[in-house]
Amino acid sequence: MSEALKSLNFIEHIVEEDLRNGFPKEKLRFRFPPEPNGYLHIGHASSICLNFGLGLRYGAPVNLRFDDTNPAKEEQEYVDAIKEDVEWLGYEWDTECFASDYFQQLYDWAIDLIKVGKAYVDSQTSEEIAEQKGTPTEAGTPSPFRNRSVEENLQLFQGMKEGKFKEGEHVLRAKVDMASSNMLMRDPIMYRILYRAHHRTNTDWCIYPMYDWTHGESDYIEQVSHSLCTLEFAMHRELYDWFLDQVVDKDLVRPKQREFARRNFSHTVVSKRKLLQLVDQGFVKGWDDPRMPTISGLRRRGYTPESIRNFADIIGIAKRDNVVDVSLLEFHVREHLNKIAPRVMGVLNPLKVVLTNYPEGEEEWLEAENNPEDEAAGYRQLPFSRELYIEQEDFKEEANRKFFRLKLGGEVRLKNGYIIKADSCTKDTDGNIIEVQCTYDPKSKSGSGTEESLRKVKGTLHWVSAKHALSAEVRLYDRLFTDETPDAHKDKNFLDFINPDSLQIISAFVEPSLADAKIGDRFQFQRMGYFNLDPDSKSEKLVFNRTVGLRDTWAKIQEKN
Question: Rounded to whole angstroms, how far apart are CA atoms 405 and 424?
Answer: 15
Would you call 272 a catalytic residue per the annotation?
yes
Parallel, antiparallel, or unpaired: how do β-strands 460-461 and 411-414 relate? parallel
Count, residues in the chain: 561
Torsion of CA 51, 55, 61, 67, to 10 degrees: 0
Q: Per CB under 7 A, which region of 118-126, 146-154, 379-387, 500-508 contacts RNA?
A: 118-126
Stretches 75-83, 246-254, 371-379, 492-500: which one binds RNA (CB under 7 A)?
A: 371-379
Q: How far does Cα 235 stand from its chain's mean position?
A: 27
- The nearer residue to RNA, 80 or 519, going by C-beta atoms, is 80
Query: CA 151, 155, 156, 162: dihedral to nearest 10 degrees?
Result: 160
Q: Helix (H, G, I), strand (E, B), or coil: what is residue 365?
A: strand
Minimum distance from residue 331 beta carbon to RNA (Å): 4
Which residues in 17-56 contact RNA (CB under 7 A)? 35
Closest C-alpha among 282, 350, 110, 296 to residue 213: 110
Nearest approach in angstroms of CB 463 to RNA is 11
Around Cβ 24, how many Cβ atoms within 10 Å? 10
Whether 422 contacts 438, CB under 8 Å? yes
Applying CB under 7 A, among 314, 434, 506, 515 the residue interacting with RNA is: 314
Q: For 428-453, b where at least 16 C-beta lie within 10 A, e where not — what string?
A: eeeeeeeebbbbbbeebbbeeeeeeb
In angstroms, give the least distance from the CB of 372 to RNA. 5
Instruction: Restricting to residues 179-208, name those near RNA by CB under 7 A.
Output: 181-184, 189, 192-194, 208
Task: Give, as ranges, the residues between 242 and 271 that touch RNA (CB under 7 A).
Answer: 261
Please say which residue, 367 or 501, places its beta carbon nearer to RNA.
367
Check: CB of residue 302 under 8 Å from CB of residue 522. Answer: yes
Catalytic residue among 65, 200, 272, 301: 272
By CB under 7 A, is residue 335 in contact with RNA?
yes
Q: Which is nearer to RNA, 274 or 285 (CB)?
A: 274
Residue of 324, 340, 408, 495 interacting with RNA (CB under 7 A): 324
Q: Does 459 bind RNA (CB under 7 A)?
A: yes
Catalytic residue among 35, 84, 169, 238: 35
Residue 77 is a catalytic residue: no
Question: Using CB under 7 A, which of 252, 318, 434, 515 touches RNA?
Answer: 318
Q: Is 331 in the site for RNA (CB under 7 A)?
A: yes
Q: Which is nearer to RNA, 40 or 289 (CB)?
A: 40
- What would the x/- binding string for RNA be over residues 341 to 370, using CB under 7 A? --x---------------------------
Which one from 73, 262, 421, 479 is the annotated catalytic residue?
262
The Cα-based distances of 139 to 85, 136, 215 in angstroms read 45, 8, 26
Q: Which lies closer to RNA via its Cβ, residue 435 or residue 452?
A: 452
Distance from chain centroid for Cα 457: 42
Q: Is residue 178 near RNA by the rule CB under 7 A?
A: no
**Residue from 226, 405, 522, 546 binding RNA (CB under 7 A):** 405
Residues numbered 145 to 164 that lie near RNA (CB under 7 A) are none
Interface region with RNA, contact rule CB under 7 A, candidates 102-110, 128-136, 351-359, 376-384: 128-136
CB of 503 to RNA, least distance (A): 23
Query: Contact with RNA (CB under 7 A): which of 76, 281, 322, 507?
Result: 322
Q: Which stretch binds RNA (CB under 7 A): 86-94, 110-118, 297-305, 441-449?
A: 441-449
Give the span between the Cα atoms of 293 and 324, in whole angstroms. 13
- Are 68 and 200 contacting, i.e. CB atoms less than 8 angstroms apart? yes
Q: Which stretch binds RNA (CB under 7 A): 248-256, 286-294, 315-323, 423-431?
A: 315-323
250 in catalytic set: no
**Coil, helix or strand for 448?**
coil
Residue 189 CB, shortest distance to RNA, in Å, is: 4
Alpha-carbon distance values, 132 to 170, 176, 182, 188, 436 (Å): 16, 14, 14, 12, 80
> Under a CB-based contact definition with an 8 Å cutoff, are residues 426 and 412 in contact?
no
By the rule CB under 7 A, 73 interacts with RNA: yes
Asked whether 248 and 217 are in contact (CB, 8 A), the reply is no
Please give the positions annotated as active site: 35, 262, 272
